[in-house]
Amino acid sequence: MPETILGPEAFERLRELRARHPEQLASVYAQRRRRETLAGDGRLFIVAADHPARGALAVGSNPTAMADRYDLLERMAIALSRPGVDGVLGTPDIIDDLAALGLLDDKIVVGSMNRGGLRGAAFEMDDRYTGYDVASMVSAGLDFAKTLIRVNLADPATSPTLMATADAVNQAAAARLPIMLEPFMSRWVDGRIVNDLSTDAVILSVAIAAGLGASSAYTWMKLPVVPDMERVMQATTMPTLLLGGDSGADPDETFAAWEDALALPGVRGLTVGRTLLYPPDGDVAAAVDIAAGLVHSQLLSTTTKETH
């Protein structure tokens, strides 16, 4: 990465707060400057960093890319400093770090409820939630909730996950807290869980997830970009953010696929993590700027026309 934003002094203050003054975090959240509206132009660009808590540290061919927390926070700081980045998605450890570092003012903060089924574990399909709950997000003044729902029709652990998600949707609706559901049809293959990214499977996952809970008033979708994305978006009326993932594809191809999908009715923006935080050339700011331009291009072009 070309330049740093935080530096050793900021990290020393963070460590000191965590060790000696943890009670100050509550004040930090209480004093955080929040947005008046969720999305001013109707679009959202969220940078995600909830991967480490799922035991997912790899990016591309590097199995421990996200293991260095200080490096990750620096990359997050760079991303959050760029125009067009609306907010961040993370588990409590990440969000607490960013709050203590003073990086969350005027940002949409999305709390990851996380999943307990760690990659490669014998209990991988036991996806009970292990991060935020609705009450803790409301208490901290977070703006959005996020869940991941893997539906495995051959594994009985799926049923309690669906029940827990329905309960989370109910609680979020009661609190008027938007909640994004990230569903997948999943299956066991050679001892590991694989998500089915075929168009029909994604459509099926959307149908199942959309029906969870007693109210869908505050439900959003977080969906992967797959072939024939038009059919996917015809399967739901819910506002949808596109999932970036770590595809390993050529960045230009990835950006082109996002651009096409962002033009579809119902798509409201992007939620991307590793692809932008760990780009092949190491230039986080440049990668984030390209993605921000794709999400907010309509607003930017309108602003340009009005100026002239």
Q: What is the largest CA-CA distance in the chain?
A: 61
Contact call for residues 229 and 265 (beta carbons, < 8 A): no
Alpha carbons 199 and 285: distance in angstroms, whole number: 32
Q: Token digits for 265?
A: 């009715």
What's the pLDDT score for residue 279?
Answer: 92
pLDDT at 38 over 50: yes
| Residue that has been written with the tokens 């965590």 in this structure | 18
| Strand blocks (E) in 95-135 | 108-112
What's the pLDDT score for residue 106?
Answer: 95
Q: How confident is the model at residue 300 (pLDDT cuts 50, 70, 90)?
A: very low
CA distances from 296 to 80, 83, 88, 222 (A): 15, 10, 16, 18
Alpha carbons 58 and 38: distance in angstroms, whole number: 31
Q: Look up the CATH superfamily of 7-307.
A: Aldolase class I (3.20.20.70)
Q: Where are the domains of the chain?
A: 7-307
pTM above 0.75, yes or no: yes
Contact call for residues 196 and 207 (beta carbons, < 8 A): no
**Of residues 116 and 34, more confidently modeled:** 34
Mean pLDDT rounded to a whole number for the chain: 91
Alpha carbons 45 and 57: distance in angstroms, whole number: 22
When mean pLDDT is compared across 14-18, 225-229, 294-298, 299-303, the lowest value belongs to: 299-303
- Name the β-bridge partners of 241: 222, 269
- Name the β-bridge partners of 240: 221, 267
- pLDDT tens-place string over residues 97-154: 999 999 999 999 999 999 888 888 888 888 889 999 999 999 999 999 999 999 999 9
Q: How confident is the model at residue 94 (pLDDT cuts 50, 70, 90)?
A: very high
Alpha carbons 105 and 31: distance in angstroms, whole number: 9
What is the β-pairing status of strands 108-112 and 87-90?
Answer: parallel
Length of the chain measured in residues: 308
Alpha carbons 40 and 61: distance in angstroms, whole number: 38
- Helix ranges (H only) for 120-267 are 134-140, 158-175, 199-210, 229-233, 251-262
Q: Token digits for 282?
A: 């190491």
- Name the β-bridge partners of 184: 150
